[in-house]
Amino acid sequence: MSKIGNDVTLSVKDNGKPNVSNYVPLSNTIDISIKSDSGNVALAKPVEVTLNISKANDPRKVAVYYYNEETNKWEYVGGKVDEDDNTITFSATHFSQYAALEYDKTFDDIKNNWAKDDIEVLASRHIVEGMTDTQYAPNKTVTRAEFASMILRLLNIKEEPYNGEFSDVKSGDWYANAIEAAYKAGIIEGDGKNMRPNDNITREEMTAIAMRAYEMLTSYKEENINNTTFNDDKDISDWAKNVVANAIKVGIINGEPNNLFAPKGIATRAEAAAIIYGLLDESGNI
């Protein structure tokens, strides 16, 4: 408990180990509140909190969660892990009970998949989701709306009510609010009045969206590189060449065998996980 004003006190109460299933608790539950002589005080700005996670098996799968008293569930917050100090730091944006938990999620159909580790880490961070609780479907294609939703979860951007900008997105569509948030954030771009949400995303389209996310995470500014050393460089769309070249430079993409990029190739769910893991890794967020 600490005084932060003449009559305002910040209280961080230790409530012991959280009662959770499917998660490993790494910290005690802390209950953050602020009180004044006149009663409870609203949280005007985020409070930065650091928790110890020295007992983590895989720090990449650790995050902070808060307890939602309305749903009686622990909900994902995130946080930044410092493996050298064995800590995780997060910004508390509202009064609640918080705890650091490790979530080790896997799927039955990725046991021998080349992207198994990437998928498991991202699923543990609630960035990618399975088609069912036990099936990820790594070889299934990804739509533009699905990939945009993954990137929103990566950036912790909340969905927004759809305003009807696009003729091929209706307010009742499952992805409408995600499209709205991603479009406003500059993560995705439409084709005139069309967003093509149900089109399978190509590798060059996926790279462009991933680079926008990378720039948001790092403040990286796209350089004028233009050409790549891929054998199929000529097949990369003119609008995407510089984006792909920059993505290679920062290390978030790899090519296909035989030094090919396959820009028009349809991306799979495994490839989506790999590029998201790459941008997290290269931006220092994993």
pTM over 0.75: yes
- If one compares 136 and 44, the residue with the highest pLDDT of the two is 136
Q: What is the pLDDT of residue 2?
A: 43
Please, are residues 61 and 121 in contact by the beta-carbon 8 Å criterion?
yes
pLDDT digits (tens, 9 = 90+) for 33-81: 766 555 555 566 788 899 999 999 999 999 999 999 999 999 999 999 9
At residue 5 the predicted structure's pLDDT band, cuts being 50, 70 and 90, is very low
Please, what is the angle between helix 203-218 and helix 144-155, to 10°? 10
Work out the percent of the chain whose per-residue pLDDT is above 70: 91
Q: What average pLDDT score do residues 245-272 get?
A: 94
- Cβ burial of 49 (10 Å; 0-12, 13-18, 19+) is middle
Rounded distance, CA 220 to CA 212, Å? Answer: 9
CATH 2.60.220.50 intervals, the chain? 2-102
Rounded distance, CA 175 to CA 162, Å? Answer: 9
Q: What is the pLDDT of residue 229?
A: 92
With a cut of 80, say whether residue 154 has pLDDT above it: yes
Q: What is the pLDDT of residue 3?
A: 40
* The token pair that represents 161 in the structure block: 């009510």
pLDDT digits (tens, 9 = 90+) for 206-252: 999 999 999 999 989 999 998 899 999 999 999 999 999 999 999 99
Q: What is the pLDDT of residue 42?
A: 57
Rounded distance, CA 251 to CA 256, Å? Answer: 14
Q: What average pLDDT score do residues 185-190 get?
A: 94
Domain boundaries 2-102, CATH class: mainly beta
Q: What is the pLDDT of residue 4?
A: 43
- Catalogue the E-assigned strands of the chain: 2-3, 8-14, 24-25, 30-36, 39-40, 47-52, 62-68, 73-78, 80-82, 87-92, 97-102
Q: What is the pLDDT of residue 34?
A: 65
Range among 29-38, 76-85, 142-151 rated most confident: 142-151
- If one compares 33 and 121, the residue with the highest pLDDT of the two is 121
Average pLDDT, the chain: 91
Q: What average pLDDT score do residues 154-160 get?
A: 95
